A and B are shown apart, each in its own frame.
Chain A
């Protein structure tokens, strides 16, 4: 009898343990496992979100969701750290955990600050040209660009034609904050006009050794009653020729003279013949005749004593005055 009672008691205890151990042995269905995995994935996505994870954006909601997920896991027969995720999960606990995960994900997404890409292409233009502003953004509820561009969509482009270098600032506002991004369109200064061609070089003017207006006097003497040029005087006349070539605009004035012997008319005519003789020589040496004038002054302007042979020789002369007119 005693043994019967003892056996009975032990049987009851054994049955209790067996029931307790085998009550949750049902393996989770594929649907349940998929739901569990979906909840895990949502929580993981929220936790790993950048730049702000769920721990920062929704700490309380994350704690609830993870505890609920652990609650589901614990309802199974597997150990606490079981990865097989087997066990009988009630629809209620699954729904609670799923809703908690949704809340975490939504709140974490809303927490993310705006991310903005904003650029101008080309970044540098010439006056009168245009540039295209291009932007894209995430986590943005409202976006606008200054410089009178105004409100814009979260992503887009717009052509701008600033007259001067202009920074454009895109202000993007979302639930996670406000971000400012600037793109500058640089307007290059006008290209300088090519410098005017240098003036044509003026003809090289040989500096006048003789100032304008100055006179050079050459003297050529003649034999008595003669107007032909003596060979001894050719060197003196060559100076006049060289001067004429060097100063093309020079004017030549030839004045003939005689000594006092003979009549005045004769001497006047002789003096003119002497002047014309020199003029012909100069023309023969390519001096333009228009630049040469000739005249005779007879015996009126002696430079020497007509009573002496030497004085008479000095008076038989031509005087060539060269005037540099320019």
Chain B
């Protein structure tokens, strides 16, 4: 039974670590996307989308730091969506 308890705790720990790593990876990806959008000139061609991506990324990082994984993931997704939109507008020449 003790072994079972240890295994259960280990699973919980692994699950928690996995969730944290996923959030960290997501934030990293969002940061990369934002950098890509900036490189495409989105700061000028799609300023709102570009800055929104940055703001949501900032909030995602903050949420992750305080351990709010769920919020961090949501903000990360928001950031990624805005970065993708900004990148598309920058490439398409739209504003």
Residue ranges of A at the interface with B (Cβ–Cβ < 8 Å):
1-3, 5-6, 9, 13, 54-55, 59-60, 62-64, 66-67, 70-71, 74, 80
Contact = CB atoms under 8 A, between A and B. Distances in A.
A233 to B, nearest CB: 120
A6 B8 CA distance: 9
Given A6-B8, A64-B55, 13 more contacts: A1-B1, A3-B1, A5-B1, A5-B2, A6-B5, A55-B48, A60-B48, A62-B51, A63-B51, A66-B52, A67-B58, A71-B59, A80-B74
Chain B interface, DSSP helix/strand/loop, else mixed = helix
Interface string B60-95: 000000000001001100100000000000000000
A6 B4 contact: yes
A3 B5 CA distance: 10
Contact of B47 (A1, A60, A66, A70): A60
Contact of B59 (A3, A59, A60, A67): A67
Given A74-B74, A80-B74, A63 B52 contact: yes
B55 A67 contact: yes
A60 B51 contact: yes
Chain A interface, DSSP helix/strand/loop, else mixed = helix
B6 to A, nearest CB: 10
Nearest to A100: B55
Contacts of A3: 1
B48 A62 contact: yes
A63 B12 contact: no
B9 interface: yes
Contacts, number: 54
Contacts of A67: 52, 55-56, 58-59, 78
Contacts of A13: 12
9 contacts: A1-B1, A6-B1, A60-B47, A62-B48, A63-B51, A63-B52, A66-B52, A70-B56, A70-B75
Given A13-B12, A67-B52, A74-B74, A59 B1 contact: no
Nearest to A2: B1
A63 B1 contact: no
A2 B48 CA distance: 59
B59 A9 contact: no
Interface residues of B, number: 21
Nearest to B8: A9
Interface string B22-60: 000000000000000000000000011011101110110
A54 to B, nearest CB: 8
Given A62-B48, A63-B48, A74-B74, A9 B5 contact: yes
B47 A59 contact: yes
B67 to A, nearest CB: 11
A252 B67 CA distance: 145
Contacts of B71: 74
A149 B22 CA distance: 70
A62 B12 CA distance: 41
B2 A59 contact: no
A105 to B, nearest CB: 15
Contacts of B50: 59, 63
Interface in B7-25: 8-9, 12
Given A13-B12, A71-B59, A63 B74 contact: no
Contacts of A71: 59
B3 to A, nearest CB: 10
Contacts of A54: 48
A22 to B, nearest CB: 15
A209 B58 CA distance: 120
